[in-house]
Amino acid sequence: MMECTDRHFRYLLRLISRRTLLYTEMVTTGALLNGGHHRFLQYHPMEHPIAIQFGGSNPVELAQSAKIAADYGYDEINLNVGCPSGKVQKGRIGACLMAEPGRVAECIAAVRSAVSVPVSVKTRIGIDEYDSYEFLICFIKEVASAGCEKFVIHARKAVLSGLSPKANRSVPPLRYDTVFRVKRDCPDLDIILNGGVDSLDRVAEFLDRVDGVMLGREAYRNPYLFSAVDRLFYGDTRREPSRLEVLREFLPYLQEQLDRGTHLTSISRHLVGLFHARPRSKEWRRMLSELTQRKPGEAYAAIQALATSDYV
């Protein structure tokens, strides 16, 4: 979810669901430790609960990064060992680390010693030729022995050579039964299922067999899907906001960011999916695209006018 789940999108999603656990984009330890903390760690207080996702393989650097993030107030530290991109592999992070369970365990132990907030691992069900259930369960048990009690499992294996990161999100077949089996064999661990989930009906179905469900691409494509999450899964009795109500609530944040010099496109691109599958969704996307050519004040006024109309 690089370049998708940044702080602007997370703020929008928090207006739609108050209870969903939000995850950041993956932040590499090298970028954090060498590029300035605030640039990568800033978020709005309303985003809680929020987890930060790290990419790294050096236990010392991960511990340092986790301590900084915990001091910033993040509610969970997540280590990504599921990203299949070539760039990530060159840095010896992401999915290639599944082949080194001992290294991952060392990283988790170091992070656990540095912070008191929960620590989790996001992983695949396998990589390349290492795709048997025996490999996966041994990996999980070794990492769990280092203190990790929560695993977010993308129910596809990663193909690290010959397949693009985009294709790795769809080509390897989903194997939900593998994730269900992990939960049966490790009942004391929190097992979160990820991969290909595109409806709340499916979430409800899966919650009978795992502890949680993570939505990635569908959350970005159709963020308003989360409007019913608080009621369906958290027992929240508050009325679900309409799309226009979400847009109206977003306006003060938009104005604040524009006043700080944030470029309009950095924010408006996250609004594209708000009216996903609605009758005038194409018109909405076109309008947002055209607004990027106008001055920020004019663009804001146009969005404000829509938010107070009967657009949909």
Q: Is the pLDDT of residue 87 over 80?
A: no
The highest-confidence range among 32-36, 169-173, 219-223, by mean pLDDT, is 219-223
Active site residue 96: no
- 0.85 exceeded by the pTM? yes
Q: What is the mean pLDDT of residues 260-269?
A: 91
Specify whether the CB–CB gap between 105 and 142 falls below 8 A: yes
Is the pLDDT at 91 greater than 70? The verdict is no
Q: Is the pLDDT of residue 174 over 90?
A: yes
**pLDDT score at 93:** 85
Average pLDDT over residues 173-177: 96
Average pLDDT over the chain, rounded to an integer: 92
Catalytic-role residue among 4, 83, 96, 107 = 83
Does position 150 have pLDDT exceeding 70, yes or no?
yes
Q: Which of 51-65, 115-129, 255-269, 275-289 shows the lowest mean pLDDT across its residues?
A: 275-289
Q: Which two tokens stand for residue 112?
A: 């656990």
